[in-house]
Amino acid sequence: MSSPGLGKDAVIQVDGSDVGYAKGVTYRLTAEIVKDYKIGDDSPAILESGNKTYAVSIEKMFIDNTYADDVLNGTKVSIVIRPLGTGSGKPEITLSNVVLNSYELTITQDGVVLESVEGEAASVTHSTQV
């Protein structure tokens, strides 16, 4: 039986480079529901999976303005998430042509300066590392 992974083992890469000082990543895959009814029936006549959305957000300790600049410039990036770390047979999620559309910088007197960035990918691939 497999055991759950630990977040500390995960690897996050943007354009092939590890994201330094990452605190967390969220990958959200959603599919719209296409649903319609016909007269005389209270159950859907059509119920199908529709358009997909591949969203991602990364929270990390602030180092420089790279991700803020990517949002400002509309730069498309590739993001790779290895939830269980790097190694043969472990899962890998590749988000391609990610448009970063939101950036937040958080500063508190008693903590580390943090930044978070969010975006949406044109496509996603779930695979196993070789």
pLDDT in tens, 22-76: 999 999 999 999 999 999 999 999 999 999 999 999 999 999 999 999 999 999 9
pLDDT in tens, 78-91: 999 999 999 999 99
Second-level CATH architecture of 7-128? Roll (2.30)
The pTM assigned to this predicted structure is: 0.90
SS3 track for the chain? CCCCCCHHHCEEEECCEECCCEEEEEEEEEEEEEEECCCCCCCCCEEEEEEEEEEEEEEEECCCCHHHHHHHHCCEEEEEEECCCCCCCCEEEEEEEEEEEEEEEECCCCCCCEEEEEEEECEEEEEECC
Domain chopping of the chain, boundaries: 7-128
